[in-house]
Amino acid sequence: MSSRTSLHQLLAVFCRIQGETKGIKDFIVVLMLYSRYKADEVETAVELALEKNICSSEGIRHLLIYANETAATIAPLANWPSLPSPDVTVYGVLGGVQ
């Protein structure tokens, strides 16, 4: 899909979801992203936003921000102490049952 087609589609989606005035203003914010990011990065983010039904400039900006980050791996908590199982028998007292 060409970048021009993607941008036209994005504008149409913004106007449909946000209303014409707000949609156009939000689309202009997307166009302003070209001043801070490479054109191909913005166009890729726009295409991904269309695929994922992201319909705000803020969503597209987040795609650009996090596009180059590597996923952090979370190490398992080996030998982590665990809590004992809860004693739920005390909850019978709350309802008046003993």
Domain assignment of residue 74, yes or no: no
The CA–CA distances, whole Å, from 65 to 51, 55, 60, 68 equal: 18, 16, 9, 7
3-state secondary structure of 23: helix
pLDDT recorded at residue 7: 95
pLDDT recorded at residue 84: 83
Which tokens hold the place of 38?
């490479």
pLDDT recorded at residue 85: 84
Which tokens hold the place of 60?
């597209």
Domain assignment of residue 35, yes or no: yes
Q: What is the pTM of this model?
A: 0.67
Domain assignment of residue 12, yes or no: yes
Domain assignment of residue 57, yes or no: yes
The CA–CA distances, whole Å, from 93 to 38, 82, 84 equal: 65, 27, 21
Domain assignment of residue 86, yes or no: no
Domain residue limits at 33? 3-66
pLDDT tens for the 98 residues of the chain, in order: 677 899 999 999 999 999 999 999 999 999 999 999 999 999 999 999 999 999 999 999 999 998 877 666 777 777 777 878 888 887 777 766 55
Question: 14-19, long-range: CB within 8 Å, 24+ apart, which pairs?
Answer: 14/55, 14/56, 17/55, 18/55, 18/56
